[in-house]
Chains A and B, each alone.
Chain A
Amino acid sequence: MAPLPLIAFDGVSRTFAGRRGGEPVPALRDLSLRVAEGETVAVVGPSGCGKTTLLELICGLQRPDSGALRSAPAALMPQRDLLLPWLPAVDNAALALRVRGVARDAARREVAPWFERFGLSGFETARPHELSGGMRQRVSFLRTLLAGKPVLSLDEPFAALDAITRAEMQAWLARILAEATRTVVLVTHDVEEAVLLGDRVLVMSPRPGRIVADLTVQGDRPRHRNDAAVVELRARALEALGVAA
């Protein structure tokens, strides 16, 4: 018997009440998906297709209106880094540990080796405003990782970065994910990012969101944007989105 998937959605729908008594807005309709342990699933879709809603359902921040949903505990990495401006980087990264009751010094000791691995050495005591955008996202990712949840939910983690930093961060994340086998759900509107980082690419329809394509990515990591498999899959994903002619 195959192991139980860590995340299972069966016909999940979620609708938001309209503003000022307007029409209710369906965010997700009849969405089903499975994510196995250790998989990196990239969810790609147009703006406003309910990607964030999907992640919030996985993280237990919302409940579905109908359908069945089960997920292992998940930590969220929000779109904006949302670092606390009054804490040095090391304490921001250690936030989950502190919430769990770990003393500050012990938490800092636990975080320290990660700063080296993440290329953040020397910035332990820097405040968020002293860090570059890419560094802030790395601290934010570290905070998510150290929450110690089986599932990482990443909500367009690099959308706010400039193109060069984004490419660097994608390569960096690919490397980190190859080392630490975690179950990851990555939401993005960037098809290339989805193909570079995901084991599977799920394509969502415009609102109300459903999964319209489930593509398995071939090829070993790290992938490059010019690999034949990447180019081919990108074309298929764009086709599923109805973009490519």
Chain B
Amino acid sequence: MRRLLLPLAAILVLLGIWQLYAGVSGVSSLVLPSPVDVGRALVEDRGALWHNLKPTAAEILLGIVLGAAVGLLVAVALRLSALAREATYPLLVASQAIPIPILAPLLVVWLGFGLLPKLVVIALVTFFPVVVTTLSALAAVDPDLIKLMRTLDAGRWQTFVRVELPSALPGVFAGAKVAAVFSVIAALLGEQAAGSNSGLGYLLTVTVQNLEMSEAFASVCVLAGFAIVLFALLTLLERRALPWVHRSTSTGA
């Protein structure tokens, strides 16, 4: 209950300050619409928002699954091969330094206007946190466990599958949670670059162009809400899938 009420209270306080500022400062609603304006837009445009959330949500979910899968595979490959790790880690870091607004239009040119460039943008942004957290979780596996597996005649692969990979799963989830938040922004950029005619990125572009700022803020709110839901779902999934992690941290305190 506390975990629900506290963030709710924080949001309400923030909205209160925002509302107060928008009312007192006399700033134009074209620059900063008040929370009440945004709330009204959320209600009035709920049809359009829902309609446009669906394709964006689908892109994000597909993109995260793709990005996390690629991230996991890359982390495993880099773990198993020191040569690959040393050779490509700087490249991986560099891949994250490329600004998406520059890369996204190029991807559209290369891959067309369909779903693919959007998925690639999301996957590109999401795979990296998964690689980094998974790799550090793999590196943190208890060396005594690996010795133990050697005395049980386990080969490289057996040790990896039975010990290293399960030990690293909390790292995979940590990366996926970070990625979930990034993926929302990536989806917007992808939609805008691809000139999509649906999705929250499209809605945001159109409303900003029409100077419908309350409506634009409403799209952002929906997107932020979706990111929170995604994060919460991953946390829930992690607790279900890795019960030992949650238990050992809660009893260890």
Could you list which residues of chain A lie within 8 angstroms of chain B, going by C-beta atoms? 56, 59-61, 74-76, 78, 80, 82, 84-86, 95-96, 98-100, 127, 129, 147, 149, 153
Most buried by B among A59, A84, A147: A84
Contact A99 B147 (CB under 8 A): no
Contact B152 A147 (CB under 8 A): yes
Contact A82 B151 (CB under 8 A): no
Determine, out of B13-21, B80-88, B216-224, B240-248, the stretch whose residues face the partner at the interface.
B240-248
B48 contacts A by Cβ under 8 Å:
no
- Inter-chain CA distance A96–B159, complex, in Å, is 11
Q: Interface on chain A toward B: helix, strand, loop, or mixed SS?
A: loop
Most buried by A among B150, B152, B242: B152
- Inter-chain CA distance A127–B147, complex, in Å, is 22
Q: Which residues of A contact B163 (CB under 8 A)?
A: 84
Contact B144 A99 (CB under 8 A): no
Contact B242 A86 (CB under 8 A): yes
- Inter-chain CA distance A129–B251, complex, in Å, is 9
Contact B144 A80 (CB under 8 A): yes
- B141-154 toward A: CB 8 Å interface, digit per residue (1/0)? 01011011111111
Residues of B in contact with A, size category: 20 to 34
- Inter-chain CA distance A75–B251, complex, in Å, is 31
Contact A95 B150 (CB under 8 A): no
- B202-220 toward A: CB 8 Å interface, digit per residue (1/0)? 0000000000000000000
Q: Which residues of A contact B162 (CB under 8 A)?
A: 84, 95, 98-99
Q: With CB as the reference atom, state the residue of chain B lying closest to A75.
A: B151
Contact A100 B166 (CB under 8 A): no
Q: Which residues of B contact A60 (CB under 8 A)?
A: 150-151
- Inter-chain CA distance A90–B158, complex, in Å, is 18
State which residues 53-91 of B face A: CB under 8 Å.
Answer: none
Contact A99 B154 (CB under 8 A): yes
Return 18 A-B CB contacts under 8 Å, by A number. A60-B151, A61-B151, A75-B151, A76-B147, A76-B151, A78-B147, A82-B148, A84-B163, A84-B166, A86-B166, A95-B162, A99-B149, A99-B152, A99-B154, A99-B162, A100-B153, A127-B244, A147-B151
Q: Which residues of A contact B145 (CB under 8 A)?
A: 82, 84
State the Cβ distance, B13 to closest chain A Cβ, in Å.
Answer: 39
- Inter-chain CA distance A169–B56, complex, in Å, is 60
Q: Which residues of A contact B148 (CB under 8 A)?
A: 76, 78, 82
Task: Give me the 4 closest cross-chain CB pairs, A-B, nearest first.
Answer: A85-B244, A76-B151, A96-B152, A99-B154
- Inter-chain CA distance A74–B153, complex, in Å, is 10
Contact B152 A95 (CB under 8 A): yes
Contact A59 B144 (CB under 8 A): no
